[in-house]
């Protein structure tokens, strides 16, 4: 039996990015400088940016509808930006609660509410993957939260994570090519001496992207990127080529 036609070498494909970070770091501004972007906004945080955007998505079905429009209609946009994932999650939960006529997602027994939320986001991922196959980059913006990690080997510790329910966060951490954590670069110095020695955290305002997992945060990439990069859109896309 003959081998099929083999594909050799590196392939140029669009990039699927989940970008999360601390408040005010410039996540939306980073996405606005991606190639020919169009935004789906689920929160009012991009009014100061000179971008093209759909009308505000005030419900979950609007988010899915805008993705479908990009699939069906001819356009010249090269990057879809969803800003933000965690606010889209709120819309999704509100929609489920209205449909099920319940007050809270936890009112569905046995954790079925979160299972339903995950199913809805799998619908979104299928649409995003079709856009990806059509040649569009996808950048999903999310906020960060600090949660305690229950370490089975040593003491527990706090770390930055996506501000999403665990099942939803897991979907996007597996799906994306780059999970990027944005933060202000911080340096720790010592002050005092002996028993009075203390550590002081200082930030010089440098905005950086972290591209690999560390104890303090989730991150990954499939492009052999350096562990730490400047928060610069052009440099990021160039490094992924």
Does a structural domain hold residue 2?
Answer: no
Domain that holds residue 168: 16-239
- Strands 137-149 and 16-21, how do they pair? parallel
CATH label of the domain that carries residue 82: 3.40.50.300
Does a structural domain hold residue 214?
Answer: yes
Give residue for tokens 């601390």.
Answer: 22
How many structural domains compose the chain? 1
Does a structural domain hold residue 186?
Answer: yes
Q: Tell me the per-residue pLDDT of 43-87, one tens digit each, with 9 for 90 and over.
A: 988 888 999 999 999 999 999 999 999 999 999 999 999 999 999
Does a structural domain hold residue 7?
Answer: no
Nearest CA to 188 out of 175, 196, 179, 197 is that of 197
Does a structural domain hold residue 204?
Answer: yes
Q: Is the CB of residue 174 less than 8 Å from the CB of residue 197?
A: no
DSSP 214: B
Q: Rounded to two decimals, what is the model's pTM? A: 0.89
Does a structural domain hold residue 215?
Answer: yes
Q: Tell me the per-residue pLDDT of 103-158, one tens digit each, with 9 for 90 and over.
A: 999 888 888 888 999 999 999 999 999 999 999 999 999 999 999 877 767 777 89
Does a structural domain hold residue 5?
Answer: no
CA distance 149 to 130: 35
Does a structural domain hold residue 150?
Answer: yes
């Amino acid at each position: 039996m003959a081998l099929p036609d083999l594909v050799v070498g590196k392939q140029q494909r669009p990039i699927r990015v989940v970008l999360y970070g601390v408040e005010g770091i410039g996540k939306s501004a980073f996405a606005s400088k991606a190639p020919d972007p169009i935004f789906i906004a689920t929160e009012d945080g991009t009014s100061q940016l000179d971008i093209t955007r759909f009308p505000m998505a005030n419900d979950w079905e609007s988010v899915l509808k805008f993705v479908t429009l990009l699939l069906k209609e001819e356009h010249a946009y090269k990057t879809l930006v969803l800003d933000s994932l965690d606010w889209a999650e709120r819309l999704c939960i509100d929609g489920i609660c209205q449909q099920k006529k319940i007050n809270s997602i936890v009112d569905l027994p046995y954790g079925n509410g979160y299972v339903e939320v995950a199913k809805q986001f799998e619908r979104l991922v299928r649409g995003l993957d079709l856009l990806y196959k059509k040649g569009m980059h996808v950048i999903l913006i999310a906020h960060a939260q600090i949660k305690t990690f229950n370490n089975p080997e040593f003491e527990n510790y706090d770390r930055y994570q996506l501000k999403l329910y665990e099942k939803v966060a897991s979907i996007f951490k597996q799906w994306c090519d780059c999970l990027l954590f944005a933060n202000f670069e911080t340096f720790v110095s010592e002050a005092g001496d002996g028993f009075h020695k203390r550590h002081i955290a200082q930030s010089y305002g440098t905005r950086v992207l972290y591209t690999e997992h560390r104890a303090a945060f989730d991150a990954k990439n499939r492009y052999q990127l350096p562990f730490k990069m400047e928060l610069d859109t052009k440099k990021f896309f160039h490094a992924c080529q």
